[in-house]
Amino acid sequence: MNAPTSPLNLIPEVHQREVPAVLISALKERFGERCSTAQAVREQHGRDESAYTTVPPPAAVVFAESTADVADAVKQASAHNVPIIPFGVGSSLEGHLLAVQGGISVDVSRMNKVLAVNPEDLTVTVQAGVTRKQLNEEIKSTGLFFPIDPGADASIGGMSATRASGTNAVRYGTMRENVLGLEVVTASGEVIRTGTRAKKSSAGYDLTRLMVGSEGTLGVITEITLKLYPLPEAISAAICSFPSIEAAVRTTIQIIQMGIPIARVELLDHHTVRMVNAYAKLGLREEALLLMEFHGSPASVKEQAETVQEISHEHGGQDFEWASTPEERTRLWTARHNAYFAAIQSKPGCRAISTDTCVPISRLADCLLDSVDEAEASGIPYFLVGHVGDGNFHFGYLLDPAKPQEYEAAERLNHALVARALRLGGTCTGEHGVGLHKMDFLVTEAGDGAVEMMRNIKRALDPKNIMNPGKIFVL
């Protein structure tokens, strides 16, 4: 494990490549006002929700309205060896959107059409700029839903590119399991399709899964075909407070090991409950708690909830508080999804460094509890939330951007946590991606040979290294 360094040092070799004026002219000619070089637009597209703030913005932003737009922008950039950085809603936590080697941001947020709903096949095809909430709103009348829900109202393109998940993944899987096929603009500006609408296939290399999680480094995802699920006949959500984080975690481990098909099981520590209470006026008991949801037939939901309540009691959990109406449930889950923003507001002017380790469920307590002790000892304010049913949790260390010593302390905590997770058979990132922040961790986790294989794939599919270069690894 490398020694902790400040975030700027974690961006290796920030070489701004030249973006020739002739390219900007050509893009303006092709896209008119949809190619912007305005400072404010460029700056908005040159940052994200990560702690990085000091990289110069992209030279221009192209607002694509079609796959052909994306392909033309890539072809023009390719002709000048200029980087292309795909942009959805800007909710990356790992610096994916930063123009560390300069280049052009391609904003796909106007590619926001739901192209084909096939309710009888439980599939939908969308453009990359459709957000998860928009999608669920548009398919509401079908009785189906799309379960993957990162905290932000992210674009489906961005969620695919980072292999995102969220609170429902414990039951419904992640983007890895829920993307059936893609349309991708390659590094040469060619448009290819991967996968079909069939539920399974053994037809050649799994290009779909190669693109999912490639963070824009192998191509720009322009269309996505997703699995949908019938809205459960019955849904029940409950809050349960625990005397300690450990009690909540041990309860979770037992639920998973018993194979109970729980739909959501989310941990909030007492700090986070306090922040969420302040932000959303929730009045929750300020102790560690689990937010849980059960999906199924009425009988099955009742059966699951009874079993889980028994397990919780064995670990000292309070009685369940039920959120029985859809409105109460929405309020609860909105509060959970806003935990990040609630935390940011709790320390005005701060930025958060968010950890993202994921470990085998049996190692969850070992991994989490020691890290809680370390965070407490550091004196740095933090929040702690977890998709604990998957063994995945996030510390968010809240930093004053003006104080390098806070960055350094947070990075020390993060390094210790990742080292611990890897020792326990886990991963440095469960759902946020590598981006700029976890390149060294990736090498420690996967090994030089596997990372070199990734680089070889990158070199083969993007010989000019123009697709979001400098993310995942530096070539």
Q: What residues from 39 to 58 belong to the interface with a second copy (CB under 8 A)?
A: none
Query: In whole angstroms, how close is the CB of 241 to a second copy at the nearest point?
Result: 26
What is d(CA 443, CA 459) in angstroms, rounded to the nearest whole number? 18
Interacting residue with a second copy among 22, 68, 258, 475 (CB under 8 A) = 258
Based on CB atoms, which residue is closest to a second copy, 156 or 207?
A: 207
The encoded tokens of residue 460 equal 């083969």
Query: In whole angstroms, how close is the CB of 325 to a second copy at the nearest point?
Result: 23
Beta-ladder partners of 61: 36, 105
Residues numbered 344 to 373 that lie near a second copy (CB under 8 A) are: 356, 358-363
Burial 236-256 (b: 16+ CB within 10 A, else e): bbbbbbbebbbbbbbbbbbbb
Based on CB atoms, which residue is closest to a second copy, 58 or 391?
A: 391
163 lies in the site for a second copy, by CB under 8 A: yes
Residues numbered 268 to 297 that lie near a second copy (CB under 8 A) are: 296-297
Interacting residue with a second copy among 11, 62, 84, 164 (CB under 8 A) = 164
Interacting residue with a second copy among 43, 137, 153, 190 (CB under 8 A) = 190
The answer to whether 390 and 381 are in contact (CB under 8 A) is no
169 lies in the site for a second copy, by CB under 8 A: yes
Residues numbered 217 to 236 that lie near a second copy (CB under 8 A) are: 218, 229-230
What is d(CA 216, CA 105) in angstroms, rounded to the nearest whole number? 11
Listed ranges 1-9, 73-81, 174-182, 262-270: which one lies at the site for a second copy (CB under 8 A): 174-182
Based on CB atoms, which residue is closest to a second copy, 229 or 341?
A: 229
Based on CB atoms, which residue is closest to a second copy, 275 or 301?
A: 301
206 lies in the site for a second copy, by CB under 8 A: yes
Query: In whole angstroms, how close is the CB of 183 to a second copy at the nearest point?
Result: 10
Sequence-separated (6 or more) residues with CB below 8 Å from residue 69: 31, 34, 62
453 lies in the site for a second copy, by CB under 8 A: yes
Q: How far is CA 330 from CA 27, 37, 203, 324, in A?
A: 43, 40, 41, 10
Beta strands at 191-194 and 179-185: parallel, antiparallel or unpaired: antiparallel
Residues numbered 106 to 135 that lie near a second copy (CB under 8 A) are: 118, 120-123
# residues contacting a second copy (CB under 8 A): 89
204 lies in the site for a second copy, by CB under 8 A: yes
Based on CB atoms, which residue is closest to a second copy, 240 or 365?
A: 365
Burial of residue 208 (CB within 10 Å: 0-12, 13-18, 19+) is buried
Give pairs for 34-42: CB < 8 Å, separation 24+.
34/62, 34/63, 34/64, 34/65, 34/69, 35/60, 35/61, 35/62, 35/63, 36/60, 36/61, 36/63, 37/61, 42/105
Site string for a second copy, 367-406 (x = CB under 8 A): -----------------------xxx--------------
259 lies in the site for a second copy, by CB under 8 A: yes
Kindly give the residue spans of alpha helices, DSSP state H, lying in 206-325: 207-211, 245-257, 270-280, 298-314
What is d(CA 344, CA 47) in angstroms, rounded to the nearest whole number? 16
Q: Which of 357, 368, 359 is nearest to 429 (CA)?
A: 357
Task: Dihedral sign for Cα 417, 418, 423, 425, please.
Answer: positive
Beta-ladder partners of 352: 398
The encoded tokens of residue 200 equal 């399974």
Based on CB atoms, which residue is closest to a second copy, 22 or 258?
A: 258
Interacting residue with a second copy among 200, 281, 327, 402 (CB under 8 A) = 200
Based on CB atoms, which residue is closest to a second copy, 381 or 389?
A: 389
Query: In whole angstroms, how close is the CB of 237 to a second copy at the nearest point?
Result: 20
Based on CB atoms, which residue is closest to a second copy, 160 or 346?
A: 160
1 lies in the site for a second copy, by CB under 8 A: no
Query: In whole angstroms, how close is the CB of 175 to a second copy at the nearest point?
Result: 9
Residues numbered 308 to 327 that lie near a second copy (CB under 8 A) are: none
Burial of residue 10 (CB within 10 Å: 0-12, 13-18, 19+) is buried
Query: In whole angstroms, how close is the CB of 132 to a second copy at the nearest point?
Result: 16
Based on CB atoms, which residue is closest to a second copy, 209 or 331?
A: 209
Site string for a second copy, 422-441 (x = CB under 8 A): x--xxxxxxxxxx---x--x
Based on CB atoms, which residue is closest to a second copy, 342 or 434?
A: 434
The helix (H) or strand (E) run that includes residue 179 is strand 179-185
Q: Which of 242, 118, 88 is nearest to 181 (CA)?
A: 118
